[in-house]
Amino acid sequence: MAMHSDIDAEEKAWQDYANCLGVDPDLFFPERGASTREAKEVCRGCVVRDDCLEYALQNGEKFGIWGGMSERERRRIRRQRALARAAAAAQADGVTA
Ligand code: SF4
């Protein structure tokens, strides 16, 4: 997709299989409060959805729909992962202490 065109070449092999190739990038950057339904529909049938979502999470993408998820949804996942990491670290500390 055009929105992903700044991704490093080695990292974007998955992008060649993106369902959104040729789709209007504006669809993936809806105005605040606008529907994300159409973009998510495109993502739903995308075979590289997991790669796309993981890329956005790893790179802290703050805007747009990636991997079928909005900024807010990705923030929630990042928060959950951070909590899980903290819990795992606390548990490891408890084991070694
Ligand atoms: S998951 Fe959505 S935004 Fe990501 S490559 Fe697939 S269609 Fe495009």
**pLDDT tens-digit profile of 19-29?**
999 999 999 99
What are the backbone dihedrals phi and psi of residue 63, each rounded to the nearest 5 degrees, phi first?
A: -125, 150
| pLDDT of residue 41 exceeding 60 | yes
Please give the number of the atom of ligand 1 that sits closest to the Cα of 47.
6
CA-proximal residue: ligand 1, atom 5 (nearest) = 18
Q: List the structure tokens of 95.
A: 């084991």
In this prediction the pTM is 0.83
Q: Separation of 91 CA from ligand 1 center, angstroms? A: 36
Q: Separation of 94 CA from ligand 1 center, angstroms? A: 41
Predicted pLDDT of residue 2: 43
Considering only residues 12 and 49, tell me which one the structure prediction assigns the higher pLDDT.
Answer: 49
Q: Separation of 84 CA from ligand 1 center, angstroms? A: 26
What are the backbone dihedrals phi and psi of residue 18, each rounded to the nearest 5 degrees, phi first?
A: -65, 135
| pLDDT of residue 6 exceeding 60 | no
Summary mean pLDDT of the chain? 90
